[in-house]
Copies of this chain bind each other. A is one copy, B any other.
């Protein structure tokens, strides 16, 4: 076998794994549950065959447009979105590909037209992205191309998708409070019927249950997702005679409002009240005084995952399983958590 003829399929066959696994291992795609022994074997085979991911990009894609469509509901208009685009762009660059970025403004007619325009331009594949974690039915027109869902989970799981692990993120946030001794932890949740609302509540419950603590319904408030809502909800929680010693907030904006409520009541953060947010919007989490402990959305990693998975899909001759991945939300410690006050 001459060096120039080595393909990803050769590596996959020799290693006894799928081409997707080879791509994931060699590209260090985050969030993959691949055994270390498999990783070692794939790398060994790739070395033996003198196969490199770079050759994958150069060799297998000669017939391609090197253009990937990135179709989003509302691109780049929120501070949340940016890192998904950046992750996708960086990953596309590794494959010598460019992103053709389009946004539909959630207009289904426009969406179909835009998918058509992308296909006219012979994109190698399409990333269908949402600017926040949603569950929906992707447009049928996507079936005409290789496609991956980004921050979207499909009602019908036919396409690979990546979303943040909302439940795990909430477990992380609440466990941080439990670990320093808090037992009365309030939760200001969102009211929208979206995965973040349900997942973060499930995680809050899970973390309490793991410590044999009951969920006390009077400590959970459903509010909006902005700072004024957080202010009102926190004010209500803190007015209780049995007020919580810590508050887990649906997001950093709600936490900003909780800070304002604490200030109004002359409660010191974190001495009198600990607060944990969600999202790690640095504009807020670094801007608040004291800095906000929160969990970060893995937007950059999700953007990378989408492109790497799309590339694996493009390379695959046979079918690739429609994996549904949830990437972890890591804790970002700042200064809003301490032990509860002695009552």
Hey, which bits of chain A sit against chain B, CB under 8 A?
67, 70, 75-79, 81-83, 85-86, 89, 98-103, 117, 121, 226-228, 231, 253, 256-257, 260, 263, 281, 283-284, 286-289
Contact = CB atoms under 8 A, between A and B. Distances in A.
| Residue from A83, A287, A288 with most neighbouring chain B CB atoms (10 Å) | A287
A121 B67 contact: yes
Given A227-B286, A253-B283, A78 B82 contact: yes
A81 B76 contact: yes
Contact of A89 (B78, B102, B286): B102
Contact of A263 (B76, B121, B263, B283): B263
A103 B86 contact: yes
Contact of A100 (B75, B82, B101, B286): B101
Chain A contact residues, majority secondary structure = mixed
A101 B103 contact: no
Nearest to A85: B76
A190 to B, nearest CB: 15
A82 to B, nearest CB: 4
A81 B99 CA distance: 17
Contacts of A284: 283-284, 287
Nearest to A101: B101
Contacts of A288: 227
